[in-house]
Structure formats: structure tokens, C-alpha cells
């Protein structure tokens, strides 16, 4: 048992880098590539399921590499949240790799980079040591920047360069914070830090490292002033769609996972819950307003990711058990429906050869399977009853009872519905020109993902008790009231979109608000200073 955590991290990295040596020129090599990747993924799935059952029976397990005593060496710790996130990322990578295998022209380099990225993300979720997290995130930044810049045309070159430099600058801030913490306490291990910080005498000295580390983590998880790098990196035109799905579904969640861990470590020292509640709300509102004003279908989805992350951050900062679990379940749900939407958008783009949401029409008639999967994912993301989005949103608003947060969540829901009414405007209507033929077997992974969205809603109680070991059953009367609220907000959103929003040209306003590289760095500095002032005045 003891070694399996290390092998969960090392095995994809080794086999992925070995896979890069294969060249796929003919169909025989292509079959070898298919068999090898499916074999790697199934081994990883079996390994993580084994770890999950072990952790549920015996509690949190940890492995000290090199058999050093606790708090001295590098530790890989698997507690219940980490293992469920590992399972989620392995299953999503399986779907993305199957989608990429069915494309027409494939190169083995994309697959080797994807599998190496999978190993690095598993390492980020499992590691308990701050410097280990830093090293893995830096390598993941390089790998993702290579994947974004894969086709080397004009737009993706700028996006990849911006992504690389902004993330390296943010990680330098993170490392500086680690250095200050090490100088003061002498530990780098996260559990050791929590024990030391609860009895630390001089709390004022901890403000600057906390501010530095949180600025970096907030840039990785895209909260309000710091999200300008995200949409162009996730929705760049010539990257493979599998990489957009992986980035938006899993990698941005690793930023939120780091936020969760850091708040857990510093919970005895500072009380910054209210700040992140407000930041989450503002991020969510800005996210959907920018999503409504875009013309490109992938950019609508990428800006909408920011809105959902704002909602998850609200759920994590509400000081309530059920809202916390609802937010963690929403992380998993959002991964599933956002990847389903990105992969189906990839299919639509390769069929229609255009990315404009006003020009694409009639998806239901021409590609029925893809359109069905799209509709089910949209119902999931807006929180229709019986889908998984409604369960997680129910638990988040259950924890927010009695306060302005409940109405804020209803507002965010209406905004989500408006942006998806705009997105689903391309499902109806007729299309005049001819389409490129897409074979039916390419839509199979998308359909399976959307069916899992439906199952995640109906079978939510067994799934939550399987993954997190708690029993949470929604109150039936409350749930019916929430479903009624869903239909009412759907009506309001439709009326708002039809008569108010589609008349205004929001695209010009939104495109003036985009920040360049210097703007992002200035907003990092301003965010850091505001956070220092807030903690000094309010949270001590």
C-alpha cells in the first residue's frame, strides 16, 4: 500500500515521456497509440479506486518519501477530498484522450504531453509540501504553454506567451512567500505549518507571506482583477479542443484546491472569509456579464468558467459545513459539464468551420447526437431539477440561508441562464451552406459525459456518500421550491435577454476592458496591497 501514491504520480510521467518517441505515420502505429493510452488510463483508474476505498476504510493515509520522519521530508498525503479530485481528473483525462484519438490527423506528441500533464496534476492534488507544489506547478505551466502554442499561428503565439509569463511571475510571488514562512517557522510541510501557526506568537509578521501566497493562488484560480489571462488561454483558436476541456475542467480547479488548503492552514490566524465572499460574488457577476458580450462560442464558455469559479469561492467562504461540501461537489460537477460543452463545441467548430455564435444555426437538424449532449450539459450547468448542478447549488444556498448571499446566488443563476440562452441560440434554425461530415463515433465521449451529468443529479446521495463518506439528503419540500424558482428565473432570463440585452452592443464595451501584460502585473500589485490593508485593518 505504501508505495502506490508515488507510483500514481510517477507512472504517467514515465510512460508519457516514453510515448513521445513513437511516430504515428500509418494506421498500425495509430492502433498501437490507442492501445497504449487506454492501457495507461485504465491502470491509473484502478489504482486511484483502490486508494479511494483504502482511504474510506482507514482514514487519511500519507507516504513519506525516503522514509524520513514526519514533517521533515516530502510527504504525499491522500485525504478524502484529494482522492476524489484525483479520480475526477483521471476520468476526465480519459474522455479528453478518447476525443483526441478520434481526430483525423494526430501526432503522438500531443498525447505524451497530455499524459505528462495528468501525472503533474495528480501530484499537485496529492502533495503535502509547499515546495513540491511549486515545482509541479512550474513544470505544468511549461507543458500547458507548449500545448497552447501547438499550431504556432499568430493568435495562439500571443496567448501562449502571455500565459507563460504571467504564471511564472505569480509563482515567483508564491515562492517568496514560502521563503518568508520558512525563515520564520522552519517548516515547509502543510500539516506541520498548521500546528506551528496555531501557537505562533507574533501574528503581524505573518501578514506579508499570507498576502504574497494568496495573490499568487488567486491569480491561478482567476478571481476578479486577475482573470484576464484565462479566457484567451482556454479558448485559443488553434489549440486542440481536448486541451481546452482539460484546462477549464481540471487545471483551474487545482488553483481552488490550493486556496482551500491555504485557508485551512491559516484558519487559526486570520479570518478573511468575508473578503472572499464578496470577491467571489463580484467575480461571478463580472464573469457572466463578460460572457454575454462575446461573439466566439469558446470565449463564452471560457468567461463563464470564471463566473462558476466565483460561485465556488462563495461556497467555500461561507463558514458552513453544507455549503463547503456543496462547493466541493460543484467543483466535480463543473468539471464534467464544462468539458462536455468544450468537446461538443470542438465538434461543432470542425463541422461548421466557423466560431461565430450568430452565424452557426441548426445544430439540432444536422448533428442530433451532439446537440442532445449539449442540451443536457446546459440543463446541468443552469441547475435544472434532476441534474447534478441543481444538487450542488441547492447545498450552497442551503448554507447561505438568511442573508444577502441567498439573493446573490439567485442573481448569479439568472446571469448563467442568460449567457446560455445566447449560447443555445445556435441550436435551432436552418443552415444554408454545406457542412463537413463528422463521423458518429466522434460524438460518443460527449454523449457519455452528458449522461453522467444526468446520473450525477439523480444518484447524488449514493455518489456523495461514496466519495466523501457523508450522508446528505436534500429536503424534498425545499427542493421543489428550488425547482419552481428555477422555472421562474428561466422565464425572467428569457425576457431579459430578448428585450433588453440583445439590443445593446456589449462587445465594444467588453473589448475595451481587456488588460495587456502590464495591466495584469499592475492589478497583481494593487491586489496585494489591498489585501495587506484589509488584513491589517479588519482581520486581526
Partner 1 sequence: MELITGENISILIFFAGFSGLMLKRNVIKSIICIGIMQAAIIIFFLSSGLSPDNVPPIDATGLQNVADPLPQALMITDIVIGIGVTAMALSLFIHMYHQFGTSDWEKAFKLRKDSEE
Partner 2 sequence: MSDKSYLMSHFIGFMYPIILLIGVYIIVNGHQSPGGGFHGGAVLATVFICRYLENPNEDLRIHSLEILEKLLFFLILLLPVVLLFNNISMSIISNKLYLLIMNILIGLKVCTGLSIIFYRFVFYEGGGIWN
**Which residues lie near partner 2 (CB under 8 A)?**
3, 6, 10, 13-14, 17-18, 21, 65-67, 109, 152
Distances (CA, A) of 303 to 135, 177, 421, 451: 28, 29, 15, 24
Q: Which member of 16, 47, 123, 160 binds partner 1 (CB under 8 A)?
A: 160
Instruction: Output DSSP code: residue 78.
Output: E
Which region, judged by CB under 8 A, interacts with partner 1, from 377-385, 386-394, 425-433, 521-529? 521-529
Q: Are 44 and 90 in contact (CB under 8 A)?
A: yes
Task: Quote the least distance from Cβ 6 to partner 2, whole Å.
Answer: 6
* Minimum CB distance to partner 2 smaller for 14 or for 369: 14
Alpha-carbon dihedral angle through residues 438, 440, 445, 446, given to the nearest 10 degrees: 70
Report whether 162 contacts 231 (CB < 8 A).
no
- Which residues, numbered 406-425, are part of the site for partner 1 (CB under 8 A)? none
Distance CA 129, CA 131 (A): 6
Residue among 51 and 181 whose Cβ is closer to partner 1: 181
Residues 6+ positions from 239 with CB-CB distance below 8 Å: 147, 148, 150, 151, 156
Cα(267)–Cα(269) distance, integer angstroms:
6
To the nearest whole angstrom, how small is the minimum distance from the Cβ of residue 258 to partner 1? Answer: 18
3-state secondary structure of 356: strand
User: What does 30 interact with, of partner 1, partner 2, none (CB < 5 to 8 A by kind)?
Assistant: none
Q: From the list partner 1, partner 2, none, which binds 66 (C-beta under 5 to 8 Å, kind-based)?
A: partner 2
Q: List the one residue out of 227, 236, 219 whose CA is nearest residue 149.
A: 236
Asked if 388 and 377 touch (Cβ cutoff 8 Å), the reply is: no
Question: Looking at beta carbons only, is 152 or 503 nearer to partner 2?
Answer: 152
How many chain residues interact with partner 1 (CB under 8 A)? 33
User: For partner 1, which is the closer residue by CB, 182 or 200?
Assistant: 182
CA distances from residue 523 to 231, 252, 512, 526 in whole angstroms, order as listed:
17, 19, 16, 5
Site membership for partner 1, residue 158 (CB under 8 A):
yes
| Per-residue mark of binding to partner 1, 163-192 (x: CB under 8 A) | -xx--xx--x--xx--xx-xx----x----
Residue 109: which of partner 1, partner 2, none does it interact with, CB under 5 to 8 A by kind? partner 2
Residue 135 binds partner 1, judged by CB under 8 A: yes
Q: Is 145 in the site for partner 1 (CB under 8 A)?
A: yes
Kindly write down the DSSP assignment for every residue of 489-514, as one continuous string.
Answer: HHHHHHHHIIIIITTS-HHHHHHHS-
- Per-residue b/e over 368-400, b at no fewer than 16 CB within 10 Å? ebbbbbbbbbbbbbbbbbebbbbbbbbbbbbbb
Backbone angles phi, psi at 362, to 5 degrees: 75, 40
CB of 160 to partner 1, least distance (A): 6
Question: Residue 220 gets which letter from DSSP?
Answer: H
Using the minimum distance from each CB to partner 1, give the nearer residue, 141 or 307.
141
CB of 37 to partner 2, least distance (A): 19
Counting Cα atoms < 13 Å in the Cβ hemisphere of 212 gives 16
> Cα dihedral sign for 117, 91, 127, 15?
negative
Which residues partner with 75 through β-bridges? 64
Q: Which of 367, 374, 326, 329 is CA-nearest to residue 350?
A: 367
Our CB check for partner 1 shows the closer of 190 and 453 to be 190
Task: Rule CB under 8 A: say whether 267 interacts with partner 1.
Answer: no
Binding segment for partner 1 (CB under 8 A), chosen from 10-18, 313-321, 408-416, 513-521, is 513-521
Give the range of 6-14, 99-107, 193-201, 512-520 binding partner 1 by CB under 8 A: 512-520
Stretch binding partner 1 (CB under 8 A), from 53-61, 106-114, 150-158, 337-345: 150-158
Contacting partner 1 (CB under 8 A), which of 200, 468, 517, 534?
517
The one of partner 1, partner 2, none whose footprint includes residue 21, by CB under 5 to 8 A per kind, is: partner 2
User: In this complex, which beta carbon is closest to partner 2, that of residue 21 or of residue 199?
Assistant: 21
Write down the least CB distance from residue 537 to partner 2, Å: 45
Residues contacting residue 110 through CB under 8 Å, at least 6 positions apart = 100, 147, 150, 240, 242, 243
Q: Would you count residue 196 as binding partner 1 (CB under 8 A)? A: no
121 binds, among partner 1, partner 2, none (CB under 5 to 8 A by kind): none
Q: Shortest distance, CB of residue 368 to partner 1, whole angstroms?
A: 31
The rounded distance, in Å, linking the Cα atoms of 463 and 471 is: 10
Q: For residue 526, give the C-alpha cell.
A: 494593487
Select 293 or 460, whichever has its Cβ closest to partner 1: 293
> Where are the extended beta strands (E) located within 406-462?
none
Partner from partner 1, partner 2, none binding residue 160, C-beta < 5-8 Å depending on class: partner 1
Helix (H, G, I), strand (E, B) or coil at 187: coil
Of 533, 348, 516, 377, nearest to 448 (Cα)?
A: 377
**6 vs 444, which CB is nearer to partner 2?**
6
- State the Cα–Cα distance between residues 536 and 540, nearest whole angstrom: 6
14 or 451, CB closer to partner 2?
14
Please choose which of partner 2, partner 1, none residue 158 contacts, taking the beta carbon within 5 to 8 angstroms, the exact cut-off set by kind: partner 1
Using the structure block, give the residue that is written with the C-alpha cell 482539460.
246
Which of residues 36 and 184 has its CB atom nearest to partner 2 in the complex?
36
CA–CA dist 224, 221 (Å, integer): 10
**Residues engaged in binding partner 1 (CB under 8 A):** 131, 135, 138, 142, 145, 149, 152-155, 157-158, 160-161, 164-165, 168-169, 172, 175-176, 179-180, 182-183, 188, 511, 516-518, 521-522, 525
Amino acid at each position: 500500500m505504501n508505495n502506490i501514491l508515488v507510483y500514481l504520480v510517477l507512472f504517467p510521467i514515465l510512460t508519457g515521456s516514453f510515448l513521445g518517441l513513437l511516430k504515428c505515420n500509418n494506421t498500425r502505429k495509430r492502433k498501437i497509440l490507442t492501445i497504449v493510452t487506454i492501457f495507461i488510463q485504465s491502470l491509473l483508474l484502478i489504482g486511484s479506486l483502490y486508494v479511494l476505498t483504502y482511504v474510506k476504510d482507514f482514514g487519511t493515509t500519507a507516504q513519506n518519501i525516503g522514509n524520513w520522519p514526519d514533517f521533515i521530508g516530502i510527504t504525499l498525503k491522500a485525504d478524502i477530498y484529494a482522492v476524489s479530485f484525483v479520480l475526477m481528473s483521471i476520468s476526465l483525462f480519459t474522455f479528453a484522450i478518447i476525443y483526441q484519438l478520434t481526430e483525423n490527423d494526430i501526432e503522438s506528441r500531443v498525447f505524451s504531453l497530455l499524459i505528462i500533464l495528468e501525472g503533474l496534476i495528480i501530484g499537485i492534488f496529492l502533495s503535502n509540501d509547499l515546495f513540491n507544489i511549486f515545482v509541479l506547478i512550474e513544470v505544468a505551466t511549461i507543458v500547458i504553454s507548449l500545448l497552447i502554442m501547438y499550431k504556432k499561428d499568430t493568435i495562439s503565439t500571443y496567448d501562449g506567451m502571455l500565459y507563460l509569463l504571467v504564471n511564472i511571475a505569480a509563482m515567483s510571488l508564491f515562492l517568496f512567500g514560502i521563503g518568508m514562512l520558512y525563515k520564520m517557522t522552519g517548516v515547509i510541510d502543510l500539516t506541520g505549518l498548521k500546528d506551528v501557526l496555531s501557537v505562533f506568537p507574533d501574528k503581524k509578521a505573518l501578514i506579508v507571506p499570507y498576502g504574497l501566497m494568496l495573490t499568487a493562488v488567486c491569480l491561478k484560480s482567476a478571481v476578479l482583477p486577475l482573470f484576464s489571462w484565462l479566457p484567451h488561454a482556454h479558448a485559443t483558436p488553434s489549440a486542440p479542443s481536448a486541451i481546452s476541456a482539460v484546462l477549464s475542467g481540471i487545471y483551474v480547479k487545482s488553483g481552488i484546491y490550493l486556496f482551500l488548503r491555504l485557508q485551512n492552514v491559516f484558519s487559526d490566524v486570520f479570518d478573511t472569509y468575508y473578503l472572499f465572499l464578496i470577491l467571489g460574488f463580484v467575480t461571478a457577476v463580472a464573469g457572466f456579464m463578460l460572457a454575454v458580450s462575446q461573439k466566439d462560442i469558446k470565449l463564452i464558455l471560457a468567461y463563464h468558467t470564471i463566473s462558476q469559479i466565483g460561485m465556488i469561492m462563495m461556497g467555500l467562504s461561507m463558514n458552513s459545513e453544507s455549503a463547503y461540501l456543496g462547493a466541493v461537489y460543484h467543483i466535480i460537477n463543473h468539471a464534467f459539464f464544462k468539458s462536455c460543452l468544450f468537446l461538443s463545441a470542438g465538434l461543432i467548430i470542425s463541422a461548421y468551420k466557423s466560431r461565430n455564435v450568430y452565424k452557426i444555426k441548426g445544430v439540432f437538424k444536422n448533428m442530433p447526437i451532439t446537440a442532445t449532449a449539449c442540451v443536457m450539459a446546459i440543463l446541468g450547468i443552469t441547475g435544472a431539477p434532476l441534474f447534478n448542478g441543481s444538487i450542488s447549488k441547492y447545498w450552497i444556498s442551503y448554507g447561505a440561508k438568511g442573508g444577502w448571499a441567498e439573493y446573490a446566488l439567485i442573481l448569479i443563476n439568472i446571469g448563467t441562464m442568460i449567457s446560455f440562452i445566447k449560447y443555445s441560440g445556435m441550436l435551432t434554425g436552418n443552415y444554408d451552406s454545406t457542412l463537413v461530415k463528422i463521423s458518429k463515433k466522434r460524438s460518443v465521449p460527449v454523449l457519455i459525459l452528458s449522461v453522467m451529468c444526468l446520473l450525477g443529479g439523480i444518484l447524488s446521495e449514493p455518489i456523495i456518500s461514496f466519495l466523501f463518506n457523508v450522508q446528505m439528503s436534500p429536503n424534498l419540500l425545499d427542493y421543489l421550491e428550488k425547482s419552481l424558482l428555477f422555472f421562474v428565473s428561466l422565464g425572467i432570463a428569457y425576457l431579459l435577454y430578448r428585450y433588453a440585452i440583445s439590443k445593446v452592443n456589449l462587445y465594444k464595451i467588453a473589448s475595451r476592458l481587456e488588460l495587456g501584460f502590464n495591466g495584469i502585473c499592475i492589478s497583481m500589485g494593487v491586489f496585494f496591497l489591498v489585501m495587506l490593508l484589509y488584513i491589517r485593518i479588519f482581520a486581526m
